Structure 1
């Protein structure tokens, strides 16, 4: 039964049904998965920060997952400019460093990726970010993890020449669509549209496609761009 609930929760998460995913998990079961889903919901909807923070607080504080999720919450407050705290930048970097030091290979790679995003989006330091993206990408491609790869190349693409950039953005979209990751696919459609020229028919078509999905799933940072 627990295994079934875990599987269902993960599938619902991939569909962007975060509330339903959390509802199928008993409060005292799979605390790491609950925390991951709660943080994921906050990142896409920009809603439920307090619930996400409470879910992370239940975890063993020294665990790599707790470090990574704590860092992501600090980063997100900076990114969304929501209830920022004076130490958010330091907390984010410290959490990523701790996850890298204590995690397995995949956890380390995810932490390196998120640290790169922090350097890229908050510090505006592409020279520091790109090597971390590339290190994480090696792990993703070696392990055949298309979901992880889709995240990395989405952020690595802007640092490439136009032809390679567009190829990366299209691959990120295709990987996400093939995996049934609906919120991520919608976000990839929006980013690809944003990188196409004004007046391009494909751009207009992508906008028509992604906006209803963004509205249905309440993807806050896409809706705020309208």
Structure 2
């Protein structure tokens, strides 16, 4: 139940549905996602991550994601956040868990892309992540990778990748991610394109309902 509520963007309900014996990794993942989408609940997210085995790939990955998000959203960033983020991703890449490595390669690329604005080094990491997503037939993971790889492509391929990301997310019932994909696709279409207007009318009510902070801030 908690996983399903998580996919629907019902983060509070998902956390409430977890019993006392629930997997601590699941609790931490949900809490970090809630923080990332709503930009609220950081203290609870950090506490949930702190309850994990600090040497585990999940702990490294979520610690790095929290550090990255503080930098990205400029929400009380810490002096060592950049170093903490990269160290966490590197630890997961070196852990030997291939699926976790794929996510770490992806998040590392996003760090380079959005914080460092280092376009030269991001493509190989995105492509490695995409290879792993494709190998395992993981459409959810693929939707994340191609969403961020798309801006580095020519317009026709970019729009095709953004549409595929949207369709993958919608098919999987990942509501917050679908709304975010609608917003990004709209932003990449010409201003006079009717599809852009329709996507905008579609995603904004959902973003308000789920309180997706970084989409609402663009209104």
**What TM-score do you get using the length of structure 2 for normalisation?**
0.99
Q: Distance in 1 between matches of 2:10 and 2:100?
A: 24
Equivalent of 2:122 in 123, 129, 133: 129
1:120 matched to 2:119? The reply is: no
Does structure 1 residue 59 correspond to structure 2 residue 58? no
Structure 1 gap segments, 5+ residues each: 1-7
- Residues 64, 103 of structure 1: 8 Å contact kept: no
**Please, which moves more after superposition, 25-34 or 160-169?**
25-34
1:150 aligns with 2:143: yes
* SS of aligned partner of 1:124: coil
Distance 2:96 2:65 in 1: 16
- 1:5 alignment counterpart: none
Match in the other structure for 1:47? 40
The separation in 2 between residues aligned to 1:188 and 1:93, in whole angstroms, is 26
> Residue 9 of structure 1 is aligned with which of 2, 25, 45?
2
Measured in 1, the distance between the counterparts of 2:36 and 2:21 equals: 23
- How far apart are residue 99 of structure 1 and its match? 1.1
1:29 to 2:22 alignment: yes
1:208-219 to structure 2, matched below 5 A, reads: 208-219=201-212
Q: Which residue of 2 aligns with 1:161?
A: 154
Count of aligned pairs between the two proteins: 219
> 1:103 Cα deviation (Å)?
4.5
Q: Which deviations, in whole Å up to 9, do the C-alpha atoms of 1:19-70 show, x marking residues without a partner? A: 0000011244210000000000000000000000000000001100000000
How far has the Cα of 1:162 moved from its partner? Answer: 0.5
Q: CA–CA distance in 2 between the matches of 1:217 and 1:103?
A: 36
Q: 2:20 and 2:63 mapped to 1: Cα distance?
A: 20
* Residue of structure 2 in register with 1:199 after alignment: 192
* Structure 2 match to 1:92: 85
Match of 1:141 in 2: 134
Distance 1:103 1:61 in 2: 16
Change (3 A) 1:222 1:103: farther
Q: Deviations over 1:184-221 (max 9, x none)?
A: 00000000000011121110100000000000000000
Which TM-score applies when normalising by structure 1?
Answer: 0.96
Deviation at 1:127, TM superposition (A): 1.1
**1:4 matched residue in structure 2:** none
- Structure 2 counterpart of 1:77: 70
